Amino acid sequence: MSEKKPARVLAANRKALFDYHVLERLEAGVALTGTEVKSCRAGRIQLREGWIDFRDGEAWLTGVHVSAYEHGPRDSPAPDRARRLLLSRREIDRLEERARAKGFTVVPLSVYLKGDRIKVEIALVQGKQLHDKRESEKRRELEREARRALSGEVD
């Protein structure tokens, strides 16, 4: 029997976790060209400025930069072009409806390999206020100190 490989993260949007409260996560496929797939597998993708746009009943990954594959043809697709997300009609409709509410948006959290397919983890998020960001930072720092203290006792 063939064993399933664990998902390999190609890029993560850590800034989104700092700037937003994640309300719901979802896995989506993404329509890429061959050279874009090779570039993604090489880790040449940036999610920091990305968001999900809804047009004509489809979900589009916008603002994500996939660098041109260095061994590919010169007429590669534009690095910042919008890429279609592969979601079911029900998922698209539900996300679009919830994202239209004031203060909500949908952003990519990570791009990873699942088997030999490239998947995008997207999330419905709500923006954090400045005091929420400070609170999250304090909580992370306390957790970090607790881990250090525990590992110090073991040594």
Domains in the chain (CATH in brackets) are 8-127 (2.40.280.10)
Which pLDDT does position 62 carry in this prediction?
93
Backbone φ/ψ region at 84: left (φ over 0), alpha (ψ -120 to 50), beta: beta
pLDDT band at 2 (very low <50, low <70, confident <90, very high): low
Instruction: Return the half-sphere exposure (C-beta side, CA atoms, 13 A cut-off) of residue 126.
Output: 9
pLDDT of residue 122: 95
pTM as predicted: 0.77
Q: Where are the beta strands (DSSP E) in the chain?
A: 8-12, 20-30, 45-46, 51-55, 58-62, 65-66, 83-86, 104-114, 117-127
Read off the pLDDT of residues 35-74 as tens digits, 9 standing for 90 and up: 888 888 888 899 989 999 999 999 999 999 888 877 777 7
